[in-house]
Chain A
Amino acid sequence: DTAVSQTPKYLVTQMGNDKSIKCEQNLGHDTMYWYKQDSKKFLKIMFSYNNKELIINETVPNRFSPKSPDKAHLNLHINSLELGDSAVYFCASSPLAGAGETQYFGPGTRLLVL
């Protein structure tokens, strides 16, 4: 029973394509996040949703669009993929949106743009 799952695990695609990554959590949490981990392993938050409402929207190109159809799902759609989008994308969830809340991470989606 995976708590936070992501599909696909690996994604190899050409520049200019549009792709989506899906995330689902079965923990009953209210809040979900997307993080990007670059080649130096630095992690940075991109977006967060609380009860399907966007609460964090960091400085991310508008080619990236999150969508939360319900509390258990947060998908990430990327338009016009660029070489610099190659990274590992992690989804996470937490019970609530609050400081001190433990975030539970998915296994990551490794995106390679050629």
Chain B
Amino acid sequence: AQSVTQLDSHVSVSEGTPVLLRCNYSSSYSPSLFWYVQHPNKGLQLLLKYTSAATLVKGINGFEAEFKKSETSFHLTKPSAHMSDAAEYFCVVSETNDYKLSFGAGTTVTVRA
């Protein structure tokens, strides 16, 4: 069975400083991992995904994530936060033999001016 734990329910950063959102996963098989972003009252948008290619994955809007199998982690980072990054972020896993997505509980990011 697959599952995802987002270690921080809320992250607050100042504009221009780095953002780190932590995600650990549990998977019986080779997982596919995703980060989605949800802006207030909007649908979900894919930021990036890992599917057993390069372990460092670059996404949209300057985000990237690193797949670390030994640590079962897929943390999301951005070097410099922008006000428009304020949103809810979801770490998501699916297994090789299962196309269902399992969502983490989400991390709310606030960006201070």
Residues of A within 8 A of B (CB): 4, 31, 40-45, 48, 56, 90, 92, 94, 97-108
The 10 residue pairs across chains A and B that have the minimum distance between CB atoms: A100-B32, A100-B51, A105-B44, A105-B43, A43-B103, A107-B43, A99-B94, A41-B106, A97-B99, A99-B96
Binding site for A on B (CB under 8 A): 32, 34, 36, 38, 41-46, 49, 51, 88, 90, 94-101, 103, 105-106
Q: A99-B32, A102-B46 are in contact. Are A43 and B94 (CB under 8 A)?
A: no
Q: Across the interface, do A105 and B45 meet the contact criterion of CB distance under 8 Å?
A: yes
Question: How many pairs, one residue from A and one from B, have CB atoms within 8 Å of each other in the complex?
Answer: 54
Q: Which residues of A contact B46 (CB under 8 A)?
A: 102-104
Identity of the chain B residue whose Cβ is nearest the Cβ of A94 in the assembled complex: B99
**25 A-B contact pairs sorted by A residue (CB < 8 Å):** A31-B99, A41-B38, A41-B88, A41-B105, A41-B106, A42-B103, A43-B44, A48-B99, A90-B43, A92-B44, A94-B99, A99-B32, A99-B95, A99-B97, A99-B98, A100-B49, A100-B51, A101-B99, A102-B49, A103-B46, A103-B101, A105-B43, A107-B42, A108-B41, A108-B42
